[in-house]
Amino acid sequence: MEMFLGIDMGGTLIKLAIVDGKADVVEDASVYTDINAAPKTVIKNIANIIKNFKNYNKVKSIGVGIAGDVDYKKGVVRFSPNLPKWKNIYLKKELEKLTGKTVYADNDANTASIGAFWLDIKNKADNVICVTLGTGVGGGIIINKKLYRGSNGTAGEIGHITVEAKGRKCNCGNSGCSETYIGVKHIVKEAVDILKTKKSKYIMKLADNNIKNITPKLLSQAALKGDVVAKQVWNNVGEKLGILLASLINIFNPDSIVLCGGISNAGNLLIAPAKKEIKARAFKTSADNCKIVISKYTGKLGVVGAAMLVKN
Amino acid sequence: MEMFLGIDMGGTLIKLAIVDGKADVVEDASVYTDINAAPKTVIKNIANIIKNFKNYNKVKSIGVGIAGDVDYKKGVVRFSPNLPKWKNIYLKKELEKLTGKTVYADNDANTASIGAFWLDIKNKADNVICVTLGTGVGGGIIINKKLYRGSNGTAGEIGHITVEAKGRKCNCGNSGCSETYIGVKHIVKEAVDILKTKKSKYIMKLADNNIKNITPKLLSQAALKGDVVAKQVWNNVGEKLGILLASLINIFNPDSIVLCGGISNAGNLLIAPAKKEIKARAFKTSADNCKIVISKYTGKLGVVGAAMLVKN
């Protein structure tokens, strides 16, 4: 049986896995990332680890996902925010020299989207949008079962669709990007803003009376206990997410949208108001057709998607 | 040489053309549309006309574009706003019976986009977004040289991307769609609104002192003569267009965006403020890569795109 090896290079952990042709994990491992080590040394160590996998000989190709600016055509890591020593590293070339196998490399938003397509969708749809909700809001566009990268490899910046023409200033330079309403720090800011006029003993208790301790996770916890402020935060955030999703549905008429990343853990708190907004805003045929799915595999998407880069 | 025949079924004219493999028009004709005739009769008449083309025998396939709801897979016209008698018409089947050639049918937004890809882009890019600016704001998405239709054939509704979360009510049911800022009647409304506080003798003269006579064409004329109000209208509209285009650039990272439809005739009045907005809002790599093109072939896009449906 043909197998594929995936490597997810995180700032804390390097995850490794061998998957079969259906993207089911056959064997996996993880090691801590040494962010101070020379990239060449890290690549050598990875080569040694993967050669110890029992199924290594069956592996047809290797894929690597890494945060940052990756030239996927050349397999060069131009820059990675998590790994400051990785600048213009010829990852593909180095790892191919050490393994003799074909190597692919891409950024982690792309590998996560491919992972969601295989794990959550099981390769059973043609057109899927993956929305990663975290510090930033990223995405991946799967068209005809393949990742769409655009003309320079920078497509899929769906966190930077304008949803308010004169809205909040975004890090990207634009104003009113959806990221400025549903990114982690803006969710927290939403809570802090509401707390200026409404009190919540429960949130403040969870936060040890320090608003700096408020996190999306804490807000989920509070909302599930019925806290009015926390519920309002998720309603507002879900509404903004729904506006974004409605636009994506009108543009892409996809089979599914998969939500992944830490914020997607808010589950129904986020999805219920988003769905309401989709119903009010998107074209009916397209909205009815589009399943909104919360990924069940957030921790595995990167490594599995990296393995499946070969099909993209 | 292989040739392809295109038919553009408009509410006033039916345009017909034979094109070569490069989409250059070899032969063409047009006839008035009889909107009261039975669709079967119209189809028969069309078959008779095209058989008289000198190059008819070289035609490999026929494509038809028509406004409305078209099932392109089956070649059925479910509904056409311009041709009220056309309800659930098996256009493909009927025309194939009469000609013995393979027939394709699609809606006119799709055929116009394919036309722009061949005529304006000359098939020389992979990823192109076509934006049709008229009464409505429509679009077409060309990915890897082929029209992307989505899962139900309803993709490309780029006039219905939300650009103001709590913006103007749109016919589609949503609020703040880009169409509600750059569609024809909203352009006129923008002028009427500004005229409430600012006077323009020049516009009122062109409009015979009746604001009901204001059209986008009139506003172009006035702006080109330096009229301050008209210039402000185009600045505001161009700004909103730029917000939409910046989002499209961030999503698709396309090689080109082609603007077509009547409003695109405003040319630089519209494009200059739009480009300013793109520069301020879109990711630099993607924005630098993307050419903004005004179609030079608005009247021919539909018929040529219909002929090239065979490649989509």
pTM of the full predicted structure?
0.94
Q: Is the pLDDT of residue B292 over 90?
A: yes
For residue A149, the chain B residues in CB contact (below 8 A) are 253
What is the reported pLDDT for A82? Answer: 84
Say if the Cβ atoms of A151 and B125 lie within 8 Å. Answer: yes
Confidence of residue A41 (pLDDT cuts 50, 70, 90): very high
Confidence of residue B1 (pLDDT cuts 50, 70, 90): confident
Say if the Cβ atoms of A254 and B151 lie within 8 Å. Answer: yes
For residue A237, the chain B residues in CB contact (below 8 A) are none
What residues of chain B, 203 to 222, have a C-beta less than 8 Å from chain A? none
Say if the Cβ atoms of B247 and A161 lie within 8 Å. Answer: yes
For residue A254, the chain B residues in CB contact (below 8 A) are 150-151
What is the reported pLDDT for A81? Answer: 86
What is the reported pLDDT for B228? Answer: 97
pLDDT in tens, A162-175: 999 999 999 899 99
Confidence of residue A1 (pLDDT cuts 50, 70, 90): confident
Q: Which of B300, B309, B312 is nearest to B16 (CA)?
A: B300
pLDDT in tens, A276-295: 999 999 999 999 999 999 99
Q: Which of A154, A247, A253 sits opposite B150 (nearest CB)?
A: A253
Strand B128-133 versus strand B137-143 pairing type: antiparallel
Q: Is the pLDDT of residue A228 over 90?
A: yes
* DSSP notation for B161-202: SBSBTT--B-TTS-BSBTHHHHSHHHHHHHHHHHHTTS--HH
What is the reported pLDDT for B112? Answer: 96
Say if the Cβ atoms of B165 and A163 lie within 8 Å. Answer: yes
Q: Which of A150, A162, A285 sits opposite B253 (nearest CB)?
A: A150
pLDDT in tens, B175-218: 999 999 999 999 999 999 999 999 999 999 999 999 999 999 99
Residue reference for tokens 């993967």: A50
What integer is the mean pLDDT of B36-60?
96
Helix, strand, coil in percent for chain B, rounding step 5: 45, 25, 30
Summary mean pLDDT of chain A: 96
Task: Say if CB B65 and CB B303 are below 8 A apart.
Answer: yes
pLDDT in tens, A130-145: 999 998 899 999 999 9
Provide the β-strand partners of residue B146. Answer: B143
For residue A141, the chain B residues in CB contact (below 8 A) are 251
For residue A161, the chain B residues in CB contact (below 8 A) are 161, 247, 250-251
What residues of chain B, 161 to 200, have a C-beta less than 8 Å from chain A? 161-165, 167, 172-175
Say if the Cβ atoms of A247 and B155 lie within 8 Å. Answer: no
What integer is the mean pLDDT of A80-86?
89
For residue B165, the chain A residues in CB contact (below 8 A) are 163-164, 167, 240, 243
Q: Dihedral through CA B121, CA B124, CA B128, CA B134, nearest 10?
A: 10
Say if the Cβ atoms of A286 and B126 lie within 8 Å. Answer: no
What is the reported pLDDT for A148? Answer: 97
Q: What is the DSSP code (8-state) at residue B211?
A: G
pLDDT in tens, A209-224: 999 999 999 999 999 9
B162, B163, B241, best to mutate vs chain A, most A CBs in 10 Å:
B162
Q: Which of A153, A164, A252 sits opposite B165 (nearest CB)?
A: A164
Say if the Cβ atoms of A174 and B246 lie within 8 Å. Answer: yes
CA distance to A185, A206, A243, A267, B130, per residue, from A223 (Å): 18, 12, 22, 11, 44
What integer is the mean pLDDT of B142-164?
95
One-letter amino acid of A158: I
Distance, CA of B115 to CA of B236 (rounded, Å): 29
Say if the Cβ atoms of A158 and B243 lie within 8 Å. Answer: no
Strand A256-260 versus strand A128-133 pairing type: parallel
Would you tell me the crossing angle of helices B268-281 and B228-252 to the nearest 10 degrees?
Answer: 50
What integer is the mean pLDDT of B82-107?
96
